[in-house]
């Protein structure tokens, strides 16, 4: 049954009558400012930062701002339904939670809080390989879950982690291709800060029997050595397209490639028998000067048609942004930094508040633009302006 996400608006107004305000802003475009003022510098800086001068991070937003929605009137859009089927999963809305690593840097509950909030709304969470909690611990939070792979160079460690994810009920695998080494990130470099050096984001390998078998001493006995062992293998640096078949042998469910920015790479994903792609530049955290992800989307969507599921991230902030990405060819979006800010500001409730704001804004804006369902959206509803 379709969910009336717009109800969050009336709920907030009614609570207001009783003297209660939302936990923090409902203006998702302004959330980063509130997080900047209230979160510790290291955690906030790591989440907010981008590669190099930040040009691509800014371009991601500017690309959304260049597209304008042209609303239609008397379109009988009262009765909306955001339900969307992605890779066989029926989602209540075309939104998934993007993989974000080491979430305890912004809140002690980290990914556990995120998983609970996502589950309470029925949205799939994509758990990062560099998570602060194990695949099994997150599975206990319930809800629909996908697993994001940073593809280890040690094939047996890779097989072990994927086996655990599969046994713990993760349905789809998202293989991130754009981050086989960390981009040049001045905001972190200036503070000589990266979460993993503080031991955060290492729960999955540290709880993995095969990874542990590679160590002379356990992580509990010699943390620096265990960290270094993981750093040296956690993304292989010389994989090629032909090796995707290795992952296919290890994973029987759908496989999605994340970080596709060129139509030829999207076609190669189809040829390699992949089930989906995420058009993404990793939120501008990898190649400074790379094109805005939204600008890459229409060409890529056109190149692959319906041969593969096209998902999108990088720069999505508001409900209107979701509409624009869907109109330009995405089936669904991955939502990133904003929920991490919500987590930092108010834990599980903060993530839920951010997601409910996004879904309510999407639901309301879709109707006011004159549309009932995501499948009705096409480029014709947008103008460059
Ligand atoms: C703090 C942080 C950590 C991230 N960690 C991962 C990760 O572990 N795996 C991954 O595939 N993407 C990771 N990403 C990228 C996101 O999945 C997503 O592509 C990006 O946040 C989209 O940009 P946006 O948040 O500006 O919309 C991370 C992003 C941020 C901000
Ligand atoms: C080798 C790069 C590790 C990055 C891990 C987290 C991430 O994806 C991000 O910070 O962005």
Tell me the pLDDT tens digit for each residue of 9-54: 999 999 999 999 999 999 999 999 999 999 999 999 999 999 999 9
CA neighbours closer than 13 Å in the CB half-sphere of residue 75: 15
Q: Which one of 35, 56, 99 would you pick to mutate in the ligand 1 pocket, going by the greatest count of ligand atoms within 8 A of its CB?
A: 99
What pLDDT, on a 0 to 100 scale, did the predictor assign at position 2?
87
* Catalytic residue, candidates 107, 133, 282, 353: 282
Q: Smallest Cα–Cα separation from 346: which of 89, 138, 116, 130?
A: 116
Cα 181 to ligand 1 centre (Å): 14
Residues 6+ apart with CB under 8 A from 142: 115, 116, 119
What is d(CA 42, CA 40) in angstroms, rounded to the nearest whole number? Answer: 6
Cβ pair 188, 49 in contact under 8 A: yes
Average of per-residue pLDDT across 85-90:
96
Q: Is the pTM of this model over 0.95?
A: yes
Cβ pair 18, 151 in contact under 8 A: no
Cα 101 to ligand 2 centre (Å): 7
Ligand 1 pocket, CB under 6 A: 46-47, 98-101, 128, 130, 148, 176, 258, 280, 282-283, 313-316, 336-337, 340
Average of per-residue pLDDT across 197-217:
96
21 burial type by CB count under 10 A (0-12 exposed, 13-18 middle, 19+ buried): exposed
Task: Tell whether the model's pLDDT for residue 197 goes beyond 90.
Answer: no
Cα 73 to ligand 1 centre (Å): 37
Cα 4 to ligand 2 centre (Å): 35
Q: Which ligand sits nearest to residue 147's alpha carbon?
A: 1
> ipTM exceeding 0.90?
yes
Confirm whether 133 is a catalytic residue.
no
Task: Tell whether the model's pLDDT for residue 349 goes beyond 80.
Answer: yes
Calculate what percentage of the chain has a pLDDT beyond 70. Answer: 100
- Per-residue confidence at 199, pLDDT binned at 50, 70, 90? confident
What pLDDT, on a 0 to 100 scale, did the predictor assign at position 15?
95
For residue 96, the 8-state DSSP code is: E
Give tens-digit pLDDT for 94-130: 999 999 999 999 999 999 999 999 999 999 999 999 9
For residue 153, the 8-state DSSP code is: S
What pLDDT, on a 0 to 100 scale, did the predictor assign at position 247?
97
What pLDDT, on a 0 to 100 scale, did the predictor assign at position 352?
98
Cβ pair 118, 97 in contact under 8 A: yes
Give tens-digit pLDDT for 128-156: 999 999 999 999 999 999 999 999 999 99
Atom 11 (ligand 2) nearest CA: 285
What pLDDT, on a 0 to 100 scale, did the predictor assign at position 385?
85
What is d(CA 136, CA 154) in angstroms, rounded to the nearest whole number? Answer: 21
- Per-residue confidence at 187, pLDDT binned at 50, 70, 90? very high
Task: Tell whether the model's pLDDT for residue 343 goes beyond 90.
Answer: yes
**Domains observed in the chain:** 7-196+256-371 (3.20.20.70)
Q: Whole-number mean pLDDT of the chain?
A: 97
- Per-residue confidence at 1, pLDDT binned at 50, 70, 90? confident
């Amino acid at each position: 049954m379709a969910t009336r996400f717009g109800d969050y608006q009336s709920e907030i107004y009614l609570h207001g009558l009783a003297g209660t305000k939302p936990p923090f802003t409902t203006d998702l475009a302004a959330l980063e400012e509130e997080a900047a003022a209230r979160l510790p510098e290291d955690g906030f800086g790591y989440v907010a930062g981008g590669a190099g001068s930040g040009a691509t991070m800014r371009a991601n937003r500017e690309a959304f701002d260049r597209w304008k929605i042209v609303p239609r009137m008397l379109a009988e859009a009262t009765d909306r339904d955001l339900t969307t089927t992605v890779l066989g999963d029926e989602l209540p809305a075309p939104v998934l939670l993007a993989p974000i690593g080491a979430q305890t840097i912004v809140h002690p509950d980290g990914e556990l809080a995120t998983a609970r909030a996502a589950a309470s709304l029925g949205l799939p969470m994509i758990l990062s390989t560099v998570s602060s909690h194990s695949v099994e611990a997150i599975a206990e939070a319930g809800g629909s879950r996908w697993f994001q792979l940073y593809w280890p160079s040690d094939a047996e460690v890779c097989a072990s982690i994927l086996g655990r994810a599969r046994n713990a009920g993760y349905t789809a695998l998202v293989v991130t291709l754009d981050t086989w080494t960390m981009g040049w990130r001045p905001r972190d470099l200036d503070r000589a800060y990266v979460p993993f050096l503080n031991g955060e984001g290492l729960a999955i390998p540290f709880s993995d029997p095969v990874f542990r078998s590679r160590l002379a001493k356990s992580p509990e006995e010699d943390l620096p050595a265990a960290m270094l062992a993981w750093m040296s293998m956690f993304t292989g640096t010389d994989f090629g397209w032909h090796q995707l078949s290795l992952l296919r042998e290890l994973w029987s469910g759908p496989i999605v490639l994340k970080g596709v920015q060129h139509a030829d790479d999207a076609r190669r994903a189809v040829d390699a028998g992949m089930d989906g792609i995420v058009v993404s530049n990793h939120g501008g955290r990898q190649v400074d000067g790379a094109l805005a992800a939204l600008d890459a989307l229409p060409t890529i969507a056109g190149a692959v048609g319906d041969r593969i599921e096209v998902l999108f991230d990088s720069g999505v902030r508001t409900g209107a942004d979701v509409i624009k990405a869907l109109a330009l060819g995405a089936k669904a979006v991955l939502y990133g930094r904003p929920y991490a800010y919500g987590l930092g500001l108010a834990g599980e409730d903060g993530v839920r508040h951010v997601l409910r704001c996004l879904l309510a804004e999407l639901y309301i804006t879709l109707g006011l633009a004159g549309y009932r369902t995501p499948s009705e959206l096409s480029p014709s509803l947008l103008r460059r302006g």
